[in-house]
Structure 1
């Protein structure tokens, strides 16, 4: 029986070039409006693409505000932003009317290929097609078996979905560009600032030239403190920890899943023209092992999805006992393990044995052999998990509770397609902030 395949050649690949994207060296202080590095109207925690996009949107929309970004690392966009496939997602995967669907489609129009390799996957493929139409993904079309090889010469399959737009980009460079725009507009970025406390200040004597109080104290691991009126957290792998630090609800908990990539050897690059995706398993928010051309001409194959035993464990044998105990005790991970034990074991098995991943790739392109691939990079996905062990599929944004209350907004679950959706997310955050505490702030601004 022929495998059921869907693929589409993305020829040529449309690359996204961001202005100023080649400038990784940043950092404190902006261009038009300088602000104190000890007090801000708004502090954004997290220097990944979502945090930087939000900072950029806020300061461009409200140039009179003093806005600061704090990042725990010595540079920006080092984690999820800097360890992904670089695809600009179309929005076809996501449940209609969900935040993921709305914000992803708003964020970008794309080309995708979806491969079905088993007969029972055809209804799922057709459901994806209908979902894409509902989500407003432009110019989708079904590709029948006889037309597949016209798009991808070496790919085998029964049916595919194609759409006429795609984007491949270096999201880390996009994040640098967001940061540059933010600084040129007067924003400040404080690196090497690991947040260890968010609380109401013991005294409110700190005042700006506008005569406004800064009641929230954001403290770092070195004992330094900055003051602000409002906090937005975009902390990725640490979003639950940061929420808990602020006295807010720690749920949903974040569980780190590592995704390992293989790299196709350059001399075998002719096997793949564009993006080739499998039909995803609807039980999980992971997209499955796929073929992804990169800007520099390489082709990534993957990723898998395995629990990593360290929050920032980018290597297969990275381990931190405290991290894994925290995952097991604080989340519904045990329930997840019992619910999907065989899936988890199979993913671990494929991660350890290169030949098993290659067998999966051969369902789509039979010509690929184990000698054609090398082990490549890896990323860690910050996946939210509820107390019952269910993987949280949609983005999660919520306000604060307790004493800090409505002075904080948390971006709680923003894995893929968060990079694609980052500008749409930033607009939503700006609107939410404006409707809450920014209203009195804006009235008191002195321009």
Structure 2
């Protein structure tokens, strides 16, 4: 019998395990990770950006936890000698329509208490000579880091505090009773008084196993990246982002320096045919059945048909992808786009076709489920963990007996 079990060895799961052990020193805690290593899914396949919180709906969990998480991520990295760089980000408007959206985004940044500077076309050219636009917003606090290293450092603290981390431990059944939760799979059977599920792309399936609401599905969107040749890695000094479409949870194809000195381009957002298939052409029949058979996804397909078609075209034809980049960086060429491993965004979609923008967390008497935690979950992992543990602590308090 464990006091706590956490399913999921990504950054949110490991951060939560660490926070539990800080809150409850000496507790018996187990982390179960399906894969052969920690941070093997979304955490290890993102662009490494420490987000500022400029985009998110004021008052939302994303807005609040991202702001706090950015500062704490940098503090944690500094304390553990993990390299990071606060290089700043430019959100570039390339035409009058984007300029109008940029102004709306500036208003949101004020409400979110995020430091932002206006940049006109001339100043943009001075700051980044290879980038062109009619104006931009500069977000100085945005940074870059390696989230796999952050996860590994968090895991070291979990182990040092007595927590156990078990890899290659797939979960296929969750049985909650009045006083415990039994978790089982091909490699074992475990019992805990409290279970936290941070399962990313499998969040809806594990929620169903535990009896949590299932009026949503996790839909995988492949984020395909390219990497520029080493000789072009100094093309820009800052992160370069387009002005995003506020109706979509995706931020658009951007230029991203990485902490290891590379320069990446991406990601796009293509409907994935496999939740855990990172190679192009990956296909999983069960995952496809879940997508096709879910009414909410059919509504999404109708609503965003033109957008989806454009993303698919850009995935199939590099020229379309390049055209997206050349809107703000016209000197990029086809030869600059070298292959790089894709990422997968686990996006919750409701039955009515709504794309869930905010973090979504649900509970039963003895379980807590992180149901939607796409970007900026890596940036926000430490305060997300606090939020989860607060929910557990409130439930375990004498005023709320089990």
- TM-score category, normalised to shorter length: over 0.9
Which residue of 1 is the match for residue 33 of structure 2? 71
Structure 1 CA distance for aligned equivalents of residues 240 and 36 of structure 2? 36
- Contact (CA 8 Å) 2:180, 2:366: kept in 1 or not? no
1:440 CA drift (Å): 5.7
- Contact (CA 8 Å) 1:51, 1:233: kept in 2 or not? yes
Which residue of 1 is the match for residue 79 of structure 2? none
Structure 2 CA distance for aligned equivalents of residues 218 and 256 of structure 1? 25
Q: TM-score, normalised by structure 1?
A: 0.84
- Looking at secondary structure, tell me which structure has more helix per residue: 2
- Contact (CA 8 Å) 1:41, 1:65: kept in 2 or not? yes
Gaps of 5+ in 2: 72-85
- Contact (CA 8 Å) 1:44, 1:70: kept in 2 or not? yes
Structure 2 CA distance for aligned equivalents of residues 143 and 355 of structure 1? 29
SS of 1:282's equivalent in the other structure is: coil
Equivalent residue in structure 1 for 2:135, among 152, 159, 162: 159
- Looking at secondary structure, tell me which structure has more strand per residue: 2
- Contact (CA 8 Å) 1:398, 1:409: kept in 2 or not? yes
Structure 2 CA distance for aligned equivalents of residues 191 and 270 of structure 1? 38
Gaps of 5+ in 1: 1-38, 205-213, 401-405
Where do 1:399-438 residues align within 5 Å? 399-400=363-364, 406-437=365-396
Structural RMSD (CA): 1.7
Aligned in 2, Cα 1:299/1:331: closer, same or farther, shift over 3 Å? farther
- Answer with 1 or 2: which has the greater Rg: 1
Which residue of 1 is the match for residue 229 of structure 2? 265
Where do 1:78-117 residues align within 5 Å? 78-109=40-71, 111-117=88-94
- Contact (CA 8 Å) 1:77, 1:175: kept in 2 or not? yes
- Contact (CA 8 Å) 2:176, 2:366: kept in 1 or not? no
Please say if 1:219 is aligned against 2:184: yes
Please say if 1:244 is aligned against 2:208: yes
Which residue of 1 is the match for residue 355 of structure 2? 391
Equivalent residue in structure 2 for 1:183, among 142, 159, 182: 159
**Over residues 116-165 of structure 1, what are the superposed CA-to-partner deviations in whole Å (9 max), with x where a residue is unaligned?**
11211112111111111211213x11111111112101111111111322
1:331 CA drift (Å): 5.0
Which residue of 2 is the match for residue 334 of structure 1? 298
Q: TM-score, normalised by structure 2?
A: 0.93
1:95 CA drift (Å): 0.6
Is 164-173 or 281-290 further displaced after alignment? 164-173
- Contact (CA 8 Å) 2:194, 2:366: kept in 1 or not? yes
Which residue of 2 is the match for residue 375 of structure 1? 339
1:414 CA drift (Å): 0.1
Please say if 1:149 is aligned against 2:131: no
Which residue of 2 is the match for residue 13 of structure 1? none
- Contact (CA 8 Å) 1:82, 1:172: kept in 2 or not? yes
Equivalent residue in structure 2 for 1:51, among 3, 10, 13: 13
- Contact (CA 8 Å) 2:26, 2:161: kept in 1 or not? no
Structure 1 CA distance for aligned equivalents of residues 362 and 113 of structure 2? 26
1:286 CA drift (Å): 0.3
